Structure 1
Amino acid sequence: MNVTKHYIVPFPLKTVYAAWVSSNTVISPATRMDILPEVGGHYRLIMKSPEYTSSNEGRFLIAEPESHLRYTWEWNKDGEITEIDVRFTSIPEGTEIQLQHSGFKKQQSADIHASGWDSYIIGFCTFLEGAE
């Protein structure tokens, strides 16, 4: 099962890509990021609160600056390893983001991630607005 998303964000390509791969871009509910955006590099997202700690870990499979990323994604070592493929294109309105998140074993997981991506992009744009 796959999730396919298409977003247009009103920010320049260089800004969008740099924020996407920065450990400093922490979008709630994440509390910490650790990203090394190169082939074989890691992607770690930590969510920590008094009630729980969750994490996502993955590895970059493709890292073409300002163009294309592909990385694995696994929550809390649950065994469901999926892949995220993101393409960035400069357009007059800002940046087009084409995203495919593939390899889900359960429809419920795909649905949760589909909603999660929409929430993430809203938070990502809010983050970028504050960074300007």
Structure 2
Amino acid sequence: MTATEKDLTLTVERVIDATPERLFDAWLDPDTMKRFICPGETVVPRASSDAVEGGRFEIIMRNGDKDLPHTGTYREIDRPNRLVFTWESHASRDDSEVTITFTPAPGGTRVQLTQVRFVSEEQREGHRWGWTSILEKLSQLDG
């Protein structure tokens, strides 16, 4: 691993018209996860979450006829302020980590997502597109 690979980071954010509690809880509930952690045209036929620090999650994203598993370990669960987990997938390093903060803001809650450690700039930019799409879908959730 080069210093460049270790230092690659991305941050995306969005203000969403919902409470921090509602948005935070969406990231831990498998039924809700299936509705928004599906960038672009992907669908999520299966999601699971052991929502405790040290617990694991799994999200199966389906793109056409190809299943793409995404898994990780919850490192910090500070409801409703901060969520930290590893992000393991075909397109990221196994030691990649995601931190999401939920901060009250005019118009709702500022959701800021930062992911660190990518293999390449191309993979980082692919994740930027994916996380941006995910935050868009999160903003459209009803109840």
CA distance in 1, matches of 2:124, 2:83: 20
CA RMSD of aligned residues (A): 1.7
C-alpha displacement at 1:125, in angstroms?
A: 1.8
Q: Structure 1: any 5+ residue segments left out of the alignment?
A: none
User: Match for residue 96 of structure 1?
Assistant: 110
Distance 1:49 1:101 in 2: 22
Calculate percent identity across the aligned residue pairs: 22
The aligned counterpart of 1:3 is 10
Q: Aligned partners of 1:49, 1:83: CA distance in 2, in Å? A: 23
Pick the aligned partner of 2:131 from 114, 117, 132: 117
Give ranges in structure 2 of 5+ residues lacking alignment: 1-7
Letter in 1 for 2:22: T
Q: 2-side partners of 1:48 and 1:118: how far apart? A: 18
* Matching of residue 105 in structure 1 with residue 112 in structure 2: no
Q: Hey, what's the Cα distance between the residues in 1 that align with 2:58 and 2:130? A: 17
The AA in structure 2 aligned to 1:80 is: R
| Bigger Cα displacement from structure 2, 46-55 vs 81-90 | 46-55
SS of corresponding position for 1:24: helix
How many correspondences in the alignment? 128
For normalisation by structure 1, the TM-score amounts to: 0.88
Aligned-pair CA distance for 1:32: 2.0
Q: Equivalent residue for 2:73?
A: 59
How far is the alpha carbon of 1:93 from its aligned partner? 1.4
Residue 29 of structure 2 aligns with which residue? 22
| Equivalent position of 2:97 in the other structure | 83
Q: Letter of the 2:122 partner, please give it.
A: Q
- CA spacing shift, 1:92–1:49, aligned 2, 3 Å: closer
1:42-94 CA distances to partner (integer Å, 9 max, x unpaired)?
12110236621110110011111101111001114x67121001111122411
Indicate the residue corresponding to 1:41 in structure 2.
Answer: 55
Q: Compared with structure 1, are the counterparts of its residues 9 and 50 closer, same or farther at alpha carbon in structure 2 (3 Å cutoff)?
A: closer
Given that 2:49 and 2:56 are in contact with CA atoms closer than 8 Å, whether structure 1 keeps it comes out as: yes
> 2:48 touches 2:58 (CA, 8 Å); kept in 1?
yes
Distance 1:2 1:11, change over 3 A: same
Which of 11, 20, 26 is 1:13 aligned to?
20
TM-score for the superposition, normalised by structure 2: 0.81
